[in-house]
C-alpha cells in the first residue's frame, strides 16, 4: 500500500533546499505519493529551545503547513492507492514473465 510522503529537512548549514528537492525526486522514482509542499530549516540548531521544542517562527509555521498538507493529502487519497499506483505496462506483463525478469539467478 502506497502512503503519502512529506519532506521536511533540518540542516546544520545554510544550504539545504537541494537536499529536499532530491528527496522528492527519489520519492517519485520509488512511486511514493509525494505532497507538493516542503520545508527546509537551515541552521536548525538555532530554532530550538532548551527543552528541544521548536521556537515559534516562520520556520515553525512552515513545518506545520507541510504537516497539515500531509494529513489532508493522506485523507484525500486513502483507499485510492490501487488506482494511483497501477501501471499498464506492469499489468500487461504476466506474473511468470515478471518472476523470470526480477528473480534472475545469474547476472
Q: Give Cα separations from 40 to 10, 61, 85, 103 (angstroms).
A: 6, 12, 28, 39
C-beta neighbour count of 9 within 10 angstroms: 18
Q: What is the predicted pLDDT for the residue at 61?
A: 92
> What's 4-102's CATH class?
alpha beta
Q: Give Cα separations from 35 to 7, 11, 17, 38 (angstroms).
A: 8, 20, 16, 8
Cell 509525494 found at: 34
Q: What is the predicted pLDDT for the residue at 49?
A: 92
Q: What is the predicted pLDDT for the residue at 29?
A: 80
Q: What is the predicted pLDDT for the residue at 101?
A: 77
Contacts of 91 (CB under 8 A, 6+ apart): none
Domain ranges of the chain: 4-102
Burial 12-46 (b: 16+ CB within 10 A, else e): eeeebeeeeeebbeebeeeebbbbebbbbbbebee
User: Running along the chain, 107 residues long, what does each successive block of 10 average in pLDDT?
Assistant: 63 63 80 80 85 90 90 84 74 76 70
Amino acid at each position: 500500500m502506497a502512503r503519502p510522503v512529506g519532506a521536511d529537512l533540518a540542516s546544520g548549514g545554510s544550504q539545504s533546499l537541494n537536499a529536499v528537492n532530491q528527496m522528492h525526486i527519489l520519492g517519485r522514482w520509488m512511486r511514493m505519493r509525494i505532497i507538493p509542499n516542503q520545508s527546509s530549516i537551515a541552521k536548525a540548531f538555532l530554532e530550538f529551545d532548551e527543552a528541544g521544542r521548536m521556537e515559534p517562527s516562520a520556520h515553525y509555521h512552515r513545518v506545520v503547513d507541510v504537516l497539515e498538507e500531509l494529513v489532508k493529502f493522506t485523507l484525500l487519497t486513502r483507499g485510492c492507492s490501487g488506482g494511483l499506483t497501477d501501471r499498464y505496462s506492469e499489468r500487461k506483463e504476466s506474473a511468470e514473465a515478471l518472476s523470470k525478469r526480477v528473480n534472475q539467478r545469474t547476472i
